[in-house]
Structure 1
Amino acid sequence: MSAELQASRQDATLILTISNPGARNALHPDMYAAAIETLSTAERDDTVRAVVITGADKVFCSGGNLNRLLENRSKPPAVQAESIDNLHGWIEAIRDCPKPVIAAVEDIAAGAGFSLALACDMIVAGASAKFVMSYVKVGLTPDGGALWFLTRALPRQLAAEILLEGKPVSAARLHELGVVNRVVPDGTVLDSALAWAEDLAALSPNAMERIKSLTNEAQANSLAQHFESEKRHFVESLHQRDALEGITAFLEKRKPQYK
């Protein structure tokens, strides 16, 4: 079987499964274009309310395929540069997706697999799952936005430890540091992520999209710029149909039904 990104649905949740049998779900360039296209389609599909990214056979992703990287040394540098551009396109598609994206991590998230998990809005991990930025072990530097994400999620010294040592970090430690949202028993990760996605799917899609946008902007904007953006989104949301349903449902003491 070849490396592929499998797409399926469970109710309002789109499930993207990294599958590369025999290679611990190592990434392949063919996956990148498929992921970007699938997320773009989901963005326009109102029936999709949440996305879960997982790995086949209870393994999340072991990162890049070292044999393929070794082969690329004999090719023009532009070949590897294009592959990284496409990986970064997937990362950007996750960040820009207006729907909440949850990583369901079992066993290992290594290298670019760790980057993929960090790009997601939330991470659910198995109790024995390990996360590792192992680039330094093979004389490489991180890609997939790993360094950008870690230096914003952690104090500089802790990010440096993870990036410079290249040693596995437990799900429990990352949970304590606030990088992993939930740690659940091994074998229950996907079910837990899907249950969380179902809860999120019941909330306002308009508010969800705007909150994600504000969160992304907040990392670059000044407080004054953020105030202006908050004001615009609030006023626009108030005059959108989700606010009418949400406020009315609250006052009527019932669950809102967002469409």
Structure 2
Amino acid sequence: MSGSVTYDVDGGVAVVTLRRPDKLNALSPRMVDDLQEIWQRFADGDERAAVLTAEGERSFCAGIDLGDVTHDMWRCVPGLSADLDKPVVAAVSGHCIGAGWVLAQYSDLVVATETARFAYPEGRVGAFGGLASGIVARVPQKVAAEFLMLGEPMPAARAYDVGMINAVVAPGEHTATAMAWARKLAAAAPLVIKTAKTLIDQHIGQTAVEQHVRTARLLGRVTASDDLQEGLAAFRERREPRFSGQ
């Protein structure tokens, strides 16, 4: 990994940290690659919960780095880049913009500081990846329309009032609070947490864009598989294929 994203383990909790504070933790293509790898590592690992946080108080994530644009940011989103049956708690301070807000939205729980500001100003830069439409399943429709179309920053207090986040804490306390929640989740009955998360995700994760992303990811595994190459080679060589399931 590049060092712009780190993965640490604290007991049964994975701590995923965006570490590009000089760029307000804006997502570069390399960070998207790293996060995709990290969510798969979390899915496969023994950690029972994760905290997604960021270095610095000024910004959780300022969105896609417009100087180094990636067009497939879905690969860094928890629950989309890899199937997760374990919860993710986002700890947000400062700016949470565009793709950064998507990262928080697709986390299971969100703790934010009083100074956090959420915004989706993509209409000002002519970009829209579609994942943000998932907000309609998470907050009232009029609030979703206001947030996505007007693009005005929403303070943490209002984000809490409309159900976009779970808690508002004093500056500097967001990560500690998120860690405390994650430890509770990690100590709870794993089957109960897994079942609750799965049912919640099935209920809210049904937008056309989300289904398209999941389908594309599944088909991509086949396209990139060793089995496909083996099948093609066996056809050319007129022999029975030896599939490995990889």
More helix by share: 1
The answer to whether the 8 Å contact 1:3/1:25 transfers is no
Does the Cα contact within 8 Å between 2:40 and 2:82 map onto a contact in 1?
Answer: no
Identity of matched residues, %: 32
Deviation (angstroms), 1:4: 1.6
Q: Match of 2:153?
A: 168
The answer (yes or no) to whether the contact 1:15–1:54 under 8 Å persists in 2 is yes
- Which of 100, 104, 120 is the equivalent residue of 1:133? 120
Indicate if the aligned counterparts of 2:140 and 2:162 stay in contact, CA closer than 8 A: no
Deviation at 1:29, TM superposition (A): 1.3
Q: Displacement of 1:94 after TM fit?
A: 6.7
What is the count of residue pairs matched by the alignment? 203
Match for 2:195 among 207, 210, 217? 210
Q: TM-score, normalised by structure 1?
A: 0.73
**Equivalence for 2:138:** 153
Answer whether contact 2:39 2:82 (CA < 8 A) is retained: no
Contact 1:129 1:171 in 2 (8 A): yes
The runs of 5 or more residues in structure 2 that have no matched partner are: 207-246
User: Aligned-residue CA RMSD in angstroms?
Assistant: 1.9
CA distance in 2: counterparts of 1:130 and 1:220, whole angstroms: 24
2-side partners of 1:12 and 1:211: how far apart?
Answer: 19
Q: Does 1:56 align with 2:75?
A: no
How far apart, in 2, do the equivalents of 1:99 and 1:56 lie?
Answer: 23
3-state secondary structure, aligned to 2:23: coil
User: One-letter code of the match for 1:120?
Assistant: S
Unaligned residue ranges in structure 1 (runs of 5+): 70-82, 222-259
- TM-score of the two chains, using structure 2 as the length reference: 0.77
- Provide the C-alpha distance between the structure 2 equivalents of 1:103 and 1:111, rounded to a whole number of angstroms: 15
Partner of 1:45: 45
* Paired AA for residue 56 in structure 2: D
Amino acid at match of 1:53: L
16-25 or 187-196: bigger deviation? 16-25
In structure 2, relative to structure 1, the CA distance for the partners of 1:89 and 1:10 (3 Å cut) is same
- 1:156-235 counterparts in 2 under 5 A? 156-219=141-204
User: In the alignment, does 2:110 pair up with 1:123?
Assistant: yes
Q: In structure 2, how many angstroms separate the alpha carbons of the residues matched to 1:10 and 1:31? A: 22
Q: What is the CA-CA distance between 1:63 and the residue it aligns to?
A: 0.5
* Secondary structure of the corresponding residue to residue 158 of structure 1: helix
Instruction: Confirm or deny: 8 A CA contact 1:132 1:169 kept in the other structure.
Output: yes
Preserved CA contact (<8 Å) 1:116 1:144:
no
Deviation of 1:181 (Å): 0.2
Aligned residue for 1:96, secondary structure, equals coil
